[in-house]
């Protein structure tokens, strides 16, 4: 089934992307607190927070952000990870370490258009950003306003740079069910600070800061305002994609909500994933691939469509 999903991904990129394919990465917990028969469930913060973690890479087109196919589906269990891009169960890795492996695998698929990886604020790691840039992976990611960069010869926080920008109105968007306007500003900044990994060495001591090469990136700040001018959302974005304008970069990140809709479709509004009775992570991962393929087939119904096909979709 994973091979069919990969074929659909290649077909979608070739037929429905203009210049880039957009790949949104995210993580979601699937709760199975009442499923005692699943013996490989993963325990999190408290006794009722138990189940499997779903790690997904969802491919979108660059025309209107429509989903093409889930490129990667990982099911994290207490015993390891069942992944759509590995034949055997693999060891658990920290999110960004696994994401780095995932990016390398996606690059090896050699799509006809380059892939831009879109990641939420969990990717605010200068060490990994340097790794991805050195590996020639393109990205648009959300960073923290408190992260320090070099701007106009000074080390300042991203939030300070954002407040100094000139913003232009770009798109009408929808947020929390209401219409709003998106404003965008941009600047060029350089990441010069050392990385501070949140891990310990063999002696149990915190790993010392790691120096790295200066990384030149685009800062794109997106602000969503309502009709009264109140800020509903602000995204501080970093990207190493230089040949698209700032409003397009911000729009790409806005399309991140597609993966949340996909998780909702799997868990609540269609496939009812958290009610599945499979008794192991492997069995659930197999069914998940079938459900993912069903989503791809339904989404492939063209629009506009006759009323009967629209109802089926």
Q: What is the pLDDT along the chain (313 residues), one digit of tens a residue?
A: 678 899 999 999 999 999 999 999 999 999 998 898 999 999 877 777 899 999 999 999 999 999 999 999 999 999 999 999 998 999 999 999 999 999 999 999 999 999 999 999 999 999 999 999 999 999 999 999 999 999 999 999 999 999 999 999 988 888 777 888 999 999 999 999 988 776 665 666 667 778 889 999 999 999 988 888 888 889 999 999 999 999 999 999 999 999 999 999 999 878 999 999 999 999 999 999 999 998 888 877 766 556 666 666 5
Residues 193 and 108 in one domain: no
Closest CA to 166 of 246, 248, 249, 255: 246
Flag whether 134 is in a domain.
no
Say if residues 103 and 55 touch (Cβ distance below 8 Å).
no
* Burial track 267-295 (b if 16+ CB lie within 10 A, e otherwise): beeebebbebebebbeebbbebbebbbeb
Residue at token pair 């790949």: 23
Residues 154 and 230 in one domain: yes
Residues 237 and 264 in one domain: no
Residues 43 and 189 in one domain: no
Q: Give the integer Cα–Cα distance in Å for 229 and 164.
A: 18
Q: With the C-alpha atoms ordered 62, 64, 65, 67, is the resulting torsion angle positive or negative?
A: negative
Residues 91 and 204 in one domain: no
Residues 94 and 151 in one domain: no
Residues 12 and 84 in one domain: yes
- The tally of CA atoms less than 13 A away on the side-chain side of residue 194 is 8
Domain closes at, from 187, 211, 241 = 241
Say how many domains are in the chain: 2
Flag whether 251 is in a domain.
no
Residue at token pair 């339904």: 298
* DSSP-H helix ranges across the chain: 2-16, 95-108, 126-134, 158-163, 246-254, 257-267, 281-299, 307-312
Residues 82 and 9 in one domain: yes
In angstroms, the Cα distances linking 15 to 54, 93, 106 are 28, 34, 18
Residues 15 and 64 in one domain: yes
* pTM (2 d.p.): 0.91
Residues 108 and 159 in one domain: no
Q: Give the integer Cα–Cα distance in Å for 229 and 180.
A: 9
Residue range(s) defining the domain that contains residue 65:
1-120+256-313
Closest CA to 22 of 296, 253, 265: 253
Residues 234 and 262 in one domain: no
CB-CB neighbours of 182 under 10 Å: 22
- In this structure, the strands spanning 80-83 and 50-61 are unpaired
């Amino acid at each position: 089934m994973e091979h069919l999903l990969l074929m659909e991904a290649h077909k979608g990129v070739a037929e429905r992307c203009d210049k880039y394919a957009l790949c949104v990465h995210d993580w979601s917990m699937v709760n199975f607190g009442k499923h005692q028969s699943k013996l490989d469930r993963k325990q999190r913060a408290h006794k009722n927070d138990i189940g499997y973690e779903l790690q997904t890479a969802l491919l979108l087109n660059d025309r209107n952000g429509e989903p093409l196919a889930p490129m990667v589906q990982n099911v994290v269990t207490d015993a390891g990870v069942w992944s759509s891009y590995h034949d055997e169960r693999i060891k658990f890795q920290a999110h960004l370490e696994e994401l780095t492996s995932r990016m390398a695998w996606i690059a090896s698929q050699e799509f006809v258009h380059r892939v831009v990886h879109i990641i939420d604020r969990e990717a605010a790691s200068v060490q990994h950003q340097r790794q991805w840039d050195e590996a020639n992976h393109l990205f648009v990611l959300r960073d923290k306003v408190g992260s320090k960069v070099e701007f106009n010869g000074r080390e300042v926080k991203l939030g300070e740079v954002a407040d100094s920008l000139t913003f232009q109105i770009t798109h009408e968007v929808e947020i929390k069910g209401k219409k709003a306007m998106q404003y965008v500003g941009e600047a060029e900044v350089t990441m010069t600070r050392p990385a501070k990994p949140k891990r310990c060495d063999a002696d149990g001591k915190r790993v010392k800061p790691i120096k790295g090469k200066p990384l030149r990136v685009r800062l794109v700040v997106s602000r969503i305002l309502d009709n009264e001018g109140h800020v509903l959302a602000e995204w501080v974005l970093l990207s190493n994609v230089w040949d698209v304008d700032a409003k397009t970069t911000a729009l790409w990140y806005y399309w991140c909500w597609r993966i949340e809709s996909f998780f909702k479709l799997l868990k609540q509004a269609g496939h009812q994933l958290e009610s599945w009775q499979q008794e192991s992570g492997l069995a659930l991962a197999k069914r998940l691939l079938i459900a993912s393929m069903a989503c791809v087939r339904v989404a492939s119904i063209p629009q506009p469509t006759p009323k009967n096909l629209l109802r089926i979709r």
